[in-house]
Amino acid sequence: MEPLRGGLLSGDVPAIQQHLIDAPVRRTPSEWGLRWVWDHPEVTVVLSGMNAMEQVRENLAVAEQGVAHSLSPGELAVIEKMRDTFASRVKIPCTGCRYCMPCENGVDIPSCFMYYNQAYTYDAKEKAAGVYLWALNGSFSGGVPGFASACVECGECEEKCPQHLPIREHLRDVNEFFGK
């Protein structure tokens, strides 16, 4: 499900493009992502959202060619380089375990970190900011907004975090980046 990270992997992402220049095969970023998923023998269904008929056509064409173990070692090396590049761009190494939750002030700490990381990882500040504002506005949590700006720096979350992340510092960064 979401093999293209909600469309973040299908755009013009410099972190992807730098690896596709010397790739052994010319493909769109979407095709690379979908082919990687189909390459796994345990995958029988791929759920990929589409917004345009051209995306439907591309997804169908990839699905027709997408079979297990169809990627060459050179193609897999390109994908591994892209994965390593994305991993190096993650700003906050939160695993999303949610042990820091609940926050007494309603801050959705893992989601704040996820959207912040998406903005940097995929060079998608505007998209990540839009989703951050939409998803954390309180509509899905009984009217309590989950923005980083609600943090009062009590530190309870840091005591619970198994990764020992400086959560308060990271929430300040998220708030500065997205604002409210």
* Domain assignments of the chain as residue spans, ordered by start: 14-89, 109-178
Q: What is the DSSP letter of 24?
A: S
Instruction: Decide if 16 contacts 123 (C-beta within 8 A).
Output: no
Instruction: Decide if 91 contacts 120 (C-beta within 8 A).
Output: yes
**pLDDT at residue 1 in the model:** 56
**Band (40; pLDDT cuts 50, 70, 90):** very high
Instruction: Cite the DSSP H helix spans in 39-108.
Output: 53-65, 73-89
Q: What is the pLDDT of residues 90-109, one digit of tens each?
A: 999 998 999 999 999 999 99
Q: What is the pLDDT of residues 139-154, one digit of tens each?
A: 776 777 899 999 999 9
Give the separation between CA 99 and CA 96, rounded to whole angstroms: 8
Give the separation between CA 91 and CA 103, rounded to whole angstroms: 22
Q: What is the pLDDT of residues 44-72, one digit of tens each?
A: 888 888 888 988 898 888 888 888 999 99
The arithmetic mean of pLDDT across residues 148-167, rounded, is 96
